[in-house]
Amino acid sequence: MIAFIGKRLFWLLITMWAVFTVSFILMRSVPGGPFDREKAVAPEIKRNLERRYNLDKPVLEQYGLELKRVFWEWDLGHCMNIADASVNYVIRQGLPISAALGILAMTFAVSFGVLTGVVSAAMRGSRLDVGLRLAATAGIALPNFVVAGICILLFVFWIPLLPAAGWGSLSQLVLPAFCLGAPYAAEVARITRTSMLDSLSHDYIRTARAKGVSRTRVVLVHGLRNSLLPVVSFLGPAVAGILTGSLIVEQIFGIPGLGVYFVKSALQRDYTLSMGVVLLYTLVLYTMNFLVDLSYAYLDPRVELE
Amino acid sequence: MRLEGRSLFPWIAGAAILFSIGWALNRGQLPPADFTFVNGTEVKSLDPAIVTGQPENRMINALFEGLTSWDPKTLEPGPGVAQRWDVSDDLLTYTFHLRHDAKWSDGSPVTAHDFIYSMRRFLDPRTAAEYSYQAWYVKNAKKYSGGGRALRPGDNVEVELNVDPDAPNSIRGKLIHGQLVRIEDKSGQELTGEALDKAAADASLNIEDWVFVISTEAGEERFRYADDLSASRNEPAAGERHARQILLDLHDVGMRAIDDRTIEFTLENPTPYFLTLLGFYPLFPVQQKCVETFGSPQWTDVENIVCNGPFKPEFRRLRDRTRVVKNEYYWDRENVKLNSVDFLAVESSTTALNLYLTGEVDWIYDVPAAALRTLLAEQPPRDDINPVPLLNTYFYLLNVTRKPFDDVRVRKALSMAIDREELTGVLLGAGERPTYSLVPPGLPGYDPPQGPHENVAEARRLLAEAGYPEGRGFPTIEVLYNTHEGHQAIAQLIRKQWQKNLGISVRTRNEEWATFNSSQRQLNYDVSRRGWIGDYADPNTFLDMFVSGGENNCTGWGNPEYDKLIAAAAVEPDPDKRLDLLHQAETILMDEQPIIPFYNYVSKNMVKPTIRGFYNNIQDTHPLSALWIDAEEKTPNPFMEGRE
């Protein structure tokens, strides 16, 4: 167990370093820099702007300085665009918000997805099953912004129940959590159904039924427990994605999370901020995958950690 | 054991959910501010010196105040921190008399020294103020902000010595005054005359390679640029001294504090819009004590900041909202009616519109084009929207260094083959006006000269004359625009019109913003989109862009006659003659057509009818200090004037 964790930690470092290096090279090879503006900036001013971020140094030296700062001093540097804030501060402000929303969305996705998946599988072929599967397919196919648009029309304008955007109250959480969770719910429902059908066709299910165990118990205990593994492996990366925020949902509902920075910092050539969010995502994704591997051992005694 | 582990899962999940709901709600519900509006993207900084852009403009204007202050209706500069001023007969010397009751938000008085400190800081290359050129009208200010590059032998200079690298970054080093004797380059060669000009203009110059020989009190000394860290670690080379930077002597810059309440500025040239510029946010003062105590950018933290405007910040939540409250030390506090204002950092204009329509905000400054058309067509007409033309022009640049755009006949033909009415009437539909000039209409005393209007027959004739009858032999040209659905729609329409009217083939290419800017600057395009927003209400802000080799020219076009006229206008003291010179210059520009103007933007404000003190103007500037709320709605809102 300890050896397993130690090995994973070692690989985490290697992964972070590789991601750092690739991002560093990619960012510097895209045309346009962080201080290129529509209106030209005087050379002396630009030099001082660049000097502040070591951009006036040779690329290799920049690489060394940045590597040391990030991995040794745990400082992601100063944002190039939001000049008042450090990257660490931006992440401290944004991550908890994205994560809180993400956990709610994921809770909704898992509970709703597993429930409909189980119902669907247990009542295979019924009208309810067809209906739920249609809804799940729609949930996967419809992009976030369409779902969000429809929801806003319905619940903000036609039936004025919920606020249009913002962050801070319970009512402001409902729509974004739903829109963020909906595609995941649909995916979870689909996976649960497939895996459930697979488990239910096994001999031990028939044996259990023959012993006289109630249908509900067979489905929920014998069937469900054995069909959770694929759901869990889907959840690892999904949770990493959802915790670090979503560009679309955050923009539509005006939520001050992290998701927007993934795209915006790259477009603005904000080298430090985009490096920060990329590394953060790597860390979260890696951790989630690690947790998923650990949970396999709990969920299925046959799996051994090595 | 295993079973226990498994049964823990639901508990962990439950705790996580409770925790996240708790977290999401921990910011709590705030009592709403008196006035809430959507301010666009998160402001880059609260430091007036280093920001550019509209959201920053609105924020800084609420927090700080300059020597002059713009009238909310006409944007004419009126008294701000300065109560009155005198202008010399040659229009070169401005003397400002500061009011006695102007105070910082910590209660201390705003003095002339604060302004000198702020201006110097703004011009200091180390501040890296992108807008520093807004102050270059002051004598030698440009030279000062050019740092060591701008110096020439014989100049009086100030050498700033290095400081401890751990000291707050806003502290200046010790100064040594002297006179520049000569500059030596990397190889020890003395640089003079044109060689020096050329080396100094090279953007890739590494100024640490130069040695500045300066005669000081201690005799002739040799200085070399070094940053604080390397100066603290390395000894200077033999016979040399480290310098943090070397600037023109501040005494030679045309500004001084005569006493605590009086400032004098000397200008390079008579500048009719100088008073307006002093009310423009980059030239607003900052408090020396605050900046030097906390360093930059920490001094802008809400707990630290000291400001002198009608409001001061209460809290700032990144990309969420910034609340400002009335500054009780502001001299004109009696006339500030709003006690608190919320700036919402909402980027999507659709989200902003939703917030407005559900009554969450009182003002939005941008409405998505499709929604705007619907809102304008509503019957009876809405009482909260009234688009008016702005001091902005949308145009295409032509790269005259490439064939076939080097031929003026081709450029004219391209302009004449465009149906601007279709563009503004059918595609845009918010009341944008077609334009045939670069300078937008509406500037007092200036009637912009008109370039060629639509004339397809003449366009075809010109194209044939240039050697491309009916577009035969005309190379495929490419229209470049930055990624945005609005620009895309326009590019597609222009492409269609050119293909139909001239028989030429046209491609479109989109690039995202940073790449787009760099392509434009490197002349890596055929035809490129551009929008220009006037910095101040004067034709010069548009026209000086197209002087030969101008930094923002980006077309490769140049005309000596044009350059001469722009230069003459800059030094012309008589306002009418000056505008006439600019008019002549624009006539040349419109005749040679290195650019094709399309239309003038319109403002897209939606303002609650109960909001008063909000007026339409060509720069779309609406000081928050002038607003008040009239719940009774007795009279028609002046904002709606002119809309039937």
pLDDT at B287 over 90: yes
pLDDT at B8 over 80: no
> CA-CA distances (angstroms) from residue A109 to A67, A210, A225, B10?
38, 34, 18, 15
How many residues are listed for chain B in this entry?
Answer: 644
Contact B20 A100 (CB under 8 A): yes
How many residues are listed for chain A in this entry?
Answer: 306
Other CB atoms within a 10 A radius of the CB of residue A211 amount to 8
Sort B398 into a burial class: Cβ within 10 Å, 0-12 / 13-18 / 19+.
Answer: buried
What is the pLDDT, as a whole number, of residue B644?
Answer: 61
* pLDDT, mean of residues B588-614: 94
Lookup: tokens for B377 = 């067509």
Please, are residues B528 and B399 in contact by the beta-carbon 8 Å criterion? Answer: yes
Please, are residues B272 and B540 in contact by the beta-carbon 8 Å criterion? Answer: no
Q: How many CB pairs under 8 A join A and B?
A: 182
pLDDT in tens, A218-275: 888 888 888 888 998 898 889 888 888 788 999 999 999 999 999 889 988 999 999 9
What is the pLDDT, as a whole number, of residue A195?
Answer: 93
B28: confidence class by pLDDT, cuts 50, 70, 90: low
What is the pLDDT, as a whole number, of residue A56?
Answer: 86
Residue type, B117: Y
Poorest-pLDDT segment among A208-222, B60-74, B177-191, B603-617? A208-222
Lookup: tokens for B363 = 């003002």
Name the residue with tokens 């919320």.
B342
- Do strands B240-243 and B219-225 pair parallel, antiparallel, or not at all (unpaired)? parallel
Alpha-carbon span B57 to B51, nearest angstrom:
8
pLDDT above 90 coverage of chain B, percent: 73
Residues 6+ apart with CB under 8 A from B520: B397, B480, B528, B530, B554
Contact A164 B317 (CB under 8 A): no
Chain A contact present for B233, CB below 8 A: no
Please tell me the number of Cα atoms within 13 Å of B386 on its side-chain side: 19
B chain contacts of residue A163, beta-carbon cutoff 8 Å = 358, 360
**A211 Cα to chain B: minimum distance (Å):** 24
**A125 Cα to chain B: minimum distance (Å):** 31
The SS3 call for residue B195 is helix
* pLDDT, mean of residues A11-28: 95
Please, are residues B546 and B594 in contact by the beta-carbon 8 Å criterion? Answer: yes
Chain A contact present for B20, CB below 8 A: yes
B515: confidence class by pLDDT, cuts 50, 70, 90: confident
Contact B20 A93 (CB under 8 A): no
Candidates B260, B259, B271, B280; CA nearest to B88 is B271
Element (H, E) at B96: strand B93-98
Residue type, B462: L
Lookup: tokens for B548 = 């030969």
pLDDT above 90 coverage of chain A, percent: 51
Alpha-carbon span B359 to B37, nearest angstrom:
11
Contact B317 A256 (CB under 8 A): yes
Candidates B432, B409, B411, B412; CA nearest to B422 is B432
Contact B319 A157 (CB under 8 A): no
pLDDT at B70 over 50: yes
Please, are residues A167 and B320 in contact by the beta-carbon 8 Å criterion? Answer: yes
Candidates B520, B570, B535, B567; CA nearest to B548 is B567
pLDDT at A66 over 80: yes
Mean pLDDT of chain B: 92
Contact A269 B301 (CB under 8 A): no
Alpha-carbon span B506 to B476, nearest angstrom:
6
Residue type, B61: N
Poorest-pLDDT segment among A99-103, B201-205, B281-285, B630-634? B630-634
pLDDT in tens, A126-150: 999 999 999 999 988 998 889 999 9
Minimal Cβ distance to B130: which of A45, A99, A267:
A45
**B21 Cα to chain A: minimum distance (Å):** 7
A chain contacts of residue B305, beta-carbon cutoff 8 Å = none
Alpha-carbon span B166 to B162, nearest angstrom:
11
**B513 Cα to chain A: minimum distance (Å):** 7
Alpha-carbon span A273 to A281, nearest angstrom:
12
Lookup: tokens for B239 = 């016979």
Minimal Cβ distance to A251: which of B347, B514, B517:
B347
The torsion angles phi and psi of B485, rounded to 5 degrees, stand at -65, -30
What is the pLDDT, as a whole number, of residue B2?
Answer: 47
**B27 Cα to chain A: minimum distance (Å):** 6
B312 beta partners: B325
B chain contacts of residue A81, beta-carbon cutoff 8 Å = 44
Best of A39, A98, A180, A253 to disrupt the B interface by mutation (most B CBs within 10 Å)? A39
Residue type, B110: V
Other CB atoms within a 10 A radius of the CB of residue A25 amount to 11
Residue bearing the bigger pLDDT, A109 or A38? A109
Contact B21 A251 (CB under 8 A): no
Alpha-carbon span B131 to B115, nearest angstrom:
17
What is the pLDDT, as a whole number, of residue B246?
Answer: 96
pLDDT in tens, A147-163: 999 999 999 999 999 99
pLDDT in tens, B577-587: 999 999 999 99
What is the DSSP secondary structure assignment for residue B107, as one 8-state letter?
Answer: S
Best of A26, A36, A45 to disrupt the B interface by mutation (most B CBs within 10 Å)? A45
Lookup: tokens for B79 = 């008294």
A chain contacts of residue B319, beta-carbon cutoff 8 Å = 93-94, 256, 260
B3: confidence class by pLDDT, cuts 50, 70, 90: very low
Please, are residues B313 and B302 in contact by the beta-carbon 8 Å criterion? Answer: yes
What is the DSSP secondary structure assignment for residue A60, as one 8-state letter?
Answer: H
Sort B3 into a burial class: Cβ within 10 Å, 0-12 / 13-18 / 19+.
Answer: exposed
Name the residue with tokens 């600057």.
B521
Alpha helices in B34-148 (DSSP H): 54-63, 112-123, 141-145
Please, are residues B104 and B110 in contact by the beta-carbon 8 Å criterion? Answer: yes
**CB within 8 Å of chain A, chain B residues 312-351:** 317-320, 344-348, 350-351
B625: confidence class by pLDDT, cuts 50, 70, 90: very high
* pLDDT, mean of residues B333-357: 94
What is the DSSP secondary structure assignment for residue B29, as one 8-state letter?
Answer: P
The SS3 call for residue B530 is strand
Lookup: tokens for A240 = 């990493």
What is the pLDDT, as a whole number, of residue B196?
Answer: 93
Minimal Cβ distance to A36: which of B45, B348, B517:
B517
Please, are residues A118 and B41 in contact by the beta-carbon 8 Å criterion? Answer: no
Lookup: tokens for A248 = 């679309």
Contact B355 A168 (CB under 8 A): no
The torsion angles phi and psi of B394, rounded to 5 degrees, stand at -105, 125
B104: confidence class by pLDDT, cuts 50, 70, 90: very high
Chain A contact present for B501, CB below 8 A: no
Give chain A's largest Cα–Cα span.
Answer: 85
DSSP B540-569: HHHHGGGSTT-TTT-S----HHHHHHHHHH
Lookup: tokens for A241 = 């994605």
pLDDT in tens, A83-97: 889 999 999 999 989
B chain contacts of residue A265, beta-carbon cutoff 8 Å = none
Please, are residues A144 and A180 in contact by the beta-carbon 8 Å criterion? Answer: yes
Sort B337 into a burial class: Cβ within 10 Å, 0-12 / 13-18 / 19+.
Answer: middle
B chain contacts of residue A167, beta-carbon cutoff 8 Å = 24, 27, 320
What is the pLDDT, as a whole number, of residue B431?
Answer: 84
Name the residue with tokens 């920490």.
B298
Burial B253-276 (b: 16+ CB within 10 A, else e): bbbebeeebbbbbebbebbbbbbb
Best of A47, A53, A56, A84 to disrupt the B interface by mutation (most B CBs within 10 Å)? A84
Sort A148 into a burial class: Cβ within 10 Å, 0-12 / 13-18 / 19+.
Answer: buried
pLDDT at B277 over 60: yes
pLDDT at B67 over 70: yes
B1: confidence class by pLDDT, cuts 50, 70, 90: very low
Give chain B's largest Cα–Cα span.
Answer: 94
pLDDT in tens, B409-467: 999 999 999 999 999 988 888 889 999 999 998 888 899 999 999 999 999 999 999 99
Cα B94 from chain centroid? 24
Lookup: tokens for B485 = 């659905």
